[in-house]
Amino acid sequence: MSDQANDSLDELFLFGEEKMEKAIVQLKREFGQIRSGRANPLILDKVVVDYYGAPTPLRQLSQVSVQEGTTLVITPYDKTILKEVEKAIIKAEIGITPNSDGICIRLAFPPLTEERRKEIVKDVKKIGEDAKVAIRNIRRDMTDSLKKIEKDEKLPEDSVKDNQDKIQKLTDKYTGIIDSNVSEKEKEVLTV
């Protein structure tokens, strides 16, 4: 097998794994924005505060801590922007009303009903399935690229078979990561 064929195959696997890794990062980002009855600072990622005319992410302007697992405590570094932070939280529509005491803001996460938990689990499974579809699409692209390399470089049949097996193993690895993330998130949602 030529050096060019080896380089092409290395690039194929490097690029494919990188894309699969990005699919996992996206999955975790989406899971972070799902309310599970527990206080999760990731829910504040979409909150942007008007800080002296510049839209600034809330988490850059304040310390965020979790209290008793069900309350987020937001303490702005600059106390004069407390009202702006409160407005930004309301505007972001995260579904929780901010409660300010003049020093910090508390977001109390209400416990979820059993029915709501089941709905969230369905959403979690759908997000997981979407991630698996993304992984399978990457596998298809990798297989198509392998066929192109096979044709261009005239790869031996056993090499093609070995590389197809490698692609499948990579796919199985990332599908397994998705499954474990889904079951972890389901457990978190269903734990009262």
What are the structural domains of the chain? 3-33+113-190 (1.10.132.20), 41-108 (3.30.1360.40)
As a whole number of angstroms, the distance between CA 114 and CA 23 comes to 30
Residues 6+ away with beta carbon under 8 Å from 107:
39, 71, 72, 74, 89, 94, 96, 97, 98, 99
Low-confidence ranges of the chain (pLDDT < 70): 1-2, 192
- pLDDT given at position 186: 92
State which amino acid sits at residue 110.
Answer: P
- pLDDT given at position 192: 64
67 - beta bridge partners? 71
In terms of DSSP bridges, do strands 99-100 and 105-108 run parallel, antiparallel, or are they unpaired?
antiparallel
State which amino acid sits at residue 84.
Answer: E
Residue with tokens 């409660």: 99
Element (H, E) at 30: helix 3-32
As a whole number of angstroms, the distance between CA 157 and CA 151 comes to 11
Q: b or e along 119-152 (b: 16 or more beta carbons within 10 Å of the residue's beta carbon)?
A: ebbeebeebbeebbebbeebbeebbebbeebbee
As a whole number of angstroms, the distance between CA 126 and CA 189 comes to 14
How many residues would you count in the chain?
192
- pLDDT given at position 153: 81
* Cα atoms in the Cβ-side hemisphere of radius 13 Å centred on 82: 13
56 - beta bridge partners? 49
